[in-house]
């Protein structure tokens, strides 16, 4: 059945192509004869053309009628796409028939009227008028050339442009007037010599002929200058005007106009066409019939082609759309296994492929979403279980500071067991004064999108002090924007107690050791004084004086140690205020430059450092001095210290790096470097870096140390901007 259906359109198409070939073969034969003689052959050919037009009309009527009946039956059965297909077919038929028939009637009327006018035209009169017009055009061209030659000669004579010193101006003047007057040639002749000639570059210059010398000589003698010279397929018409200029000679100015073709040749051509017309005059009816048949055949051919194309285009559009509509209904019912099978290769084929790919992607996405949903549920349950059971307190806030989640450990640490803080602002929940420092740090972190690590905060509740380690971490969105904050609490109360006991044990041991060192010489000196007094030695005054000096010196050492310990215990509180870090670093570096001849300082401060930071200038200067002193001591007063400050925009913090070229720090000493009374120097008290660490922590910052290659150590300080 499909084979029979495919053979029908092919047969019709082949039959129509045969008709077209036969029709245009007849048309070519008639045209090739170059005349329409009333012979029997011509009549037979015209009759054949008439039959071909009739057959084409019947074929067109059959195809259109058959398809319109099919469309009517499809609409009666409410087949999907039949209404749209009917609209398309009717649209294409109307689009082809209406303008084509209008064009046919207009063109046939135009042919009839033009043929009538053509055969009524008095061509003898046309020839005479054409000759008169040609002569008039030539005379007009000569008068125009003469007029401009006269105007040019007057201006050249009046402006004295032929003088030797004005020749360059004369050339510019002629070049300008050639374009202004729309002439094709301007020539200047002095006596019998040609000074120069300017031509229109659009002329056929390969066929150009100069003015004959004899005409120039005659013009000098007073004759009228006039010349018509052939130039390629056209003519150059020249007129000239001469005048005598005192001290220079006789000047001839010529102006030329070019005509592309000889008028005599055109008149001969017209005569030829008139002769052919007189031969064709008796065949007026035959000519009209011939052209009407051609016009009818082309009209029917256009209507047939447009209708046939419309039918196939409508079918090519509506069939895939029908399949897509059916598939869409299946998808709306939840069937994602449906596929549209169509062999279309145009945009509809792309649409079908995209539809099939979309359904496939939807199916895969459905499976993927189901899988991911299960994973997310498991992960959510896992995270909730972890948060419910870990001892670390966790609170999440949105960008406005509203609490979104809080785990039991956080509620216990902050004594919020009887409240439900979710959905409230952290300021409403942490309203008591004991939470003041926590609220201050969280507000600062949200405002500056700042990351904070291990900030120690003490809370007094029911007479008990709880020490918490506060950590803040910004929550970024997928595009990197700030979406909230994670607040983490660790209860350090027991750990700090244990660390304090361990630290004070070590401090007590070191203090006892430091005190024991001067007590030994004090004891020995006192015993020596007692022995000397018992013996009543004549040298006893000297021995007593030496012993007393030793006792006084060692007592001063003990006093200095006690004073240093006292100073560490009562360090002034950090007072934050706006200060210029760049100026502070430059001033501190300036204090050390020049004091140590073999120590080189290098400062590298970023251009984008904030002009003002919240810090304590004196305490921060104390930090830098302490680190510089340690670096100089480690390098044995010989080496290079480099200070680098940079602004980390994403973290909203300033990083200060201080590196030296000393021997570095051992792995064992790194863990104890910031503990009180730990020192690697022989005479060090061990409080310098402990003070530095305390000052940085009170600035809500952090400090760390690391070794650099090939040698040296680097201290990195980070404070909020």
Q: 695 lies in a domain? A: yes
Whole-angstrom distance, CA of residue 466 vs CA of residue 488: 15
Both tokens of 620, joined, read 């921060």
Question: Cβ–Cβ contacts within 10 Å for residue 274, how many?
Answer: 14
> Which of 219, 236, 261 is the last residue before a domain boundary?
261
My answer on whether 100 and 227 are in the same domain is no
For residue 346, give the 3-state DSSP assignment: coil
Indicate the DSSP class of residue 224: P
CB of 115 closer than 8 Å to CB of 220: no
Whole-angstrom distance, CA of residue 194 vs CA of residue 251: 10
Mean pLDDT of all residues in 108-116: 64
Instruction: Give the number of domains in the chain.
Output: 5
Q: 49 lies in a domain? A: yes
β partners of residue 644 = 604, 657
Q: Is the pLDDT of residue 452 over 70?
A: yes
My answer on whether 103 and 171 are in the same domain is no
Q: 224 lies in a domain? A: yes
Q: Is the pLDDT of residue 36 over 50?
A: no
Q: Is the pLDDT of residue 410 over 50?
A: yes
Q: 161 lies in a domain? A: yes
What pTM did the predictor assign?
0.36
Mean pLDDT of all residues in 370-382: 81
Task: Kindly tell me the sign of the dihedral angle through the C-alpha atoms of 669, 672, 673, 678.
Answer: negative
Instruction: Tell me the pLDDT band of 206, cut-offs 50, 70 and 90.
Output: confident
Q: Is the pLDDT of residue 333 over 80?
A: no
Q: Give the DSSP H/E element, type plus range, for residue 486.
A: strand 482-491
Instruction: Tell me the pLDDT band of 560, cut-offs 50, 70 and 90.
Output: low
> Which of 448, 467, 489 is the last residue before a domain boundary?
489
Q: 272 lies in a domain? A: no
Q: Is the pLDDT of residue 523 over 50?
A: yes
Q: Is the pLDDT of residue 443 over 60?
A: yes
Q: Is 357 exposed, middle or buried, given 0-12, 13-18 or 19+ CB atoms closer than 10 A?
A: exposed
- Please provide the average confidence, as pLDDT, over all residues in the chain: 76
Indicate the DSSP class of residue 241: E
Q: 363 lies in a domain? A: no
* Range with the largest mean pLDDT of 137-146, 311-320, 560-569, 706-715: 706-715
My answer on whether 591 and 463 are in the same domain is no
My answer on whether 316 and 248 are in the same domain is no
pLDDT of residue 666: 78
Q: Is the pLDDT of residue 566 over 70?
A: no
My answer on whether 473 and 595 are in the same domain is no
Question: Cβ–Cβ contacts within 10 Å for residue 24, how many?
Answer: 13
Q: Is the pLDDT of residue 506 over 90?
A: no
CATH number at residue 665: 3.30.565.10
pLDDT of residue 657: 93
Mean pLDDT of all residues in 75-88: 68
Q: Is the pLDDT of residue 420 over 80?
A: no
For residue 677, which of 689, 663, 687 has the smallest C-alpha distance?
687
pLDDT of residue 467: 80
pLDDT of residue 139: 78
CB of 312 closer than 8 Å to CB of 67: no
My answer on whether 241 and 281 are in the same domain is no
Instruction: Tell me the pLDDT band of 251, cut-offs 50, 70 and 90.
Output: confident
My answer on whether 536 and 596 are in the same domain is no
My answer on whether 545 and 589 are in the same domain is no
My answer on whether 694 and 603 are in the same domain is yes
For residue 163, give the 3-state DSSP assignment: coil
Domain extent at residue 71: 2-120+277-326
Whole-angstrom distance, CA of residue 237 vs CA of residue 650: 85
Q: 382 lies in a domain? A: no
Mean pLDDT of all residues in 670-698: 66
pLDDT of residue 717: 92
Instruction: Tell me the pLDDT band of 511, cut-offs 50, 70 and 90.
Output: low
Instruction: Tell me the pLDDT band of 80, cut-offs 50, 70 and 90.
Output: low
For residue 308, give the 3-state DSSP assignment: helix
My answer on whether 254 and 287 are in the same domain is no
Q: 434 lies in a domain? A: yes
* Range with the largest mean pLDDT of 299-308, 444-453, 539-548: 444-453
Q: Is the pLDDT of residue 270 over 70?
A: no
pLDDT of residue 128: 58
My answer on whether 137 and 72 are in the same domain is no
β partners of residue 257 = 237
> Which of 514, 537, 569 is the last residue before a domain boundary?
569
CB of 515 closer than 8 Å to CB of 561: yes
CATH number at residue 218: 3.30.450.20
Indicate the DSSP class of residue 142: H
How far from 715 is each of 384, 385, 470, 556, CA to CA, in Å? Answer: 39, 40, 23, 34
CB of 710 closer than 8 Å to CB of 702: no
My answer on whether 152 and 281 are in the same domain is no
């Amino acid at each position: 059945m499909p084979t029979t259906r495919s053979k029908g359109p092919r047969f019709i198409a082949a039959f129509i192509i045969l008709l077209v070939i036969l029709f245009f073969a007849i048309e070519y034969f008639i045209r090739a004869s170059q005349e329409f003689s009333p012979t029997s052959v011509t009549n037979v050919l015209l009759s054949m053309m008439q039959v071909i037009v009739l057959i084409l009309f019947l074929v067109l009527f059959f195809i259109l009628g058959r398809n319109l009946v099919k469309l009517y039956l499809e609409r009666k059965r409410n087949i999907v796409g039949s209404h749209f297909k009917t609209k398309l077919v009717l649209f294409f038929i109307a689009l082809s028939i209406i303008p084509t028939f209008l064009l046919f009637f207009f063109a046939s009327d135009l042919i009839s009227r033009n043929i009538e006018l053509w055969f009524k035209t008095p061509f003898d009169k046309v020839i005479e008028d054409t000759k008169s017009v040609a002569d008039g055009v030539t005379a007009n061209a000569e008068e125009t050339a003469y007029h401009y030659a006269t105007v040019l000669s007057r201006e050249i004579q009046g402006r004295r442009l032929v003088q030797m010193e004005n020749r360059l101006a004369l050339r510019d003047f002629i070049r300008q007037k050639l374009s202004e007057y729309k002439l094709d040639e301007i020539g200047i002749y002095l006596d019998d010599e040609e000074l120069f000639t300017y031509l229109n570059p659009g002329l056929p210059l390969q066929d150009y002929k100069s003015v004959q010398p004899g005409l120039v000589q005659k013009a000098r003698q007073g004759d009228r200058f006039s010349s018509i010279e052939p130039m390629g397929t056209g003519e150059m018409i020249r007129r000239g005007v001469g005048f005598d200029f005192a001290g220079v000679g006789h000047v001839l100015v010529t102006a030329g106009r070019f005509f592309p073709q000889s008028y005599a040749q055109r008149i001969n051509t017209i005569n030829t066409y008139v002769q052919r017309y007189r031969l064709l005059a008796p065949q007026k009816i035959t000519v009209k019939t011939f052209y009407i048949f051609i016009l009818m055949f082309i009209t029917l051919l256009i209507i047939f082609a447009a209708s046939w194309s419309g039918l196939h285009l409508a079918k090519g559009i509506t069939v895939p759309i029908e399949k897509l509509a059916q598939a869409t209904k299946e998808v709306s019912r939840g069937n994602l296994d449906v596929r549209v099978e169509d062999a279309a290769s145009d945009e509809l084929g792309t649409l079908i492929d995209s539809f099939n790919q979309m359904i496939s992607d939807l199916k895969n996405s459905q499976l993927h979403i189901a899988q991911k949903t299960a994973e997310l549920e498991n992960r959510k349950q896992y995270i909730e279980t972890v948060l419910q059971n870990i001892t670390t307190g966790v609170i999440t806030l949105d960008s406005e500071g509203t609490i979104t989640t809080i785990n039991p450990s956080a509620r216990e640490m902050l004594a919020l067991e009887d409240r439900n803080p979710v959905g409230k602002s952290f300021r409403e929940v942490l309203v008591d004064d004991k939470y003041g420092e926590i609220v201050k740090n969280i507000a600062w972190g949200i405002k500056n999108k700042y990351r904070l690590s291990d900030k120690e905060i003490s809370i007094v509740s029911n007479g008990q002090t709880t020490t918490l380690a506060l950590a803040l971490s910004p929550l970024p969105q997928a595009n990197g924007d700030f979406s909230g904050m994670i607040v983490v609490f660790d209860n350090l109360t027991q750990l700090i107690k244990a660390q304090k006991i361990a630290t004070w044990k070590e401090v007590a041991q070191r203090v006892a050791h430091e005190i024991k060192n001067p007590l030994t010489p004090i004891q020995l000196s006192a015993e020596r004084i007692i022995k000397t007094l018992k013996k009543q030695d004549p040298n006893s005054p000297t021995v007593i004086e030496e012993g007393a000096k030793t006792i006084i010196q060692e007592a001063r050492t003990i006093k200095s140690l006690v004073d240093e310990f006292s100073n560490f215990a009562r360090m002034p509180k950090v007072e934050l205020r706006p200060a210029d870090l760049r100026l502070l670093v430059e001033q501190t570096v300036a204090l050390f430059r020049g004091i140590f001849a073999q120590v080189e300082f290098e400062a590298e401060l970023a251009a984008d450092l904030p002009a003002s930071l919240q810090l304590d200038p004196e305490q921060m200067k104390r930090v830098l001095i302490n680190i510089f002193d340690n670096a100089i001591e480690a390098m044995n007063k010989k080496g290079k210290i480099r200070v680098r400050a940079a602004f980390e925009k994403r973290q909203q913090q300033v990083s200060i790096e201080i590196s030296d070229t000393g021997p570095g720090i051992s792995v064992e000493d790194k863990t104890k470097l910031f503990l009180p009374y730990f020192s690697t120097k022989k005479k060090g008290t061990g409080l310098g870096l402990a003070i530095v660490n305390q000052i940085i922590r009170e600035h809500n910052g952090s400090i760390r140390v690391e070794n650099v290659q090939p040698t040296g150590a680097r201290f990195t300080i980070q404070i909020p901007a």
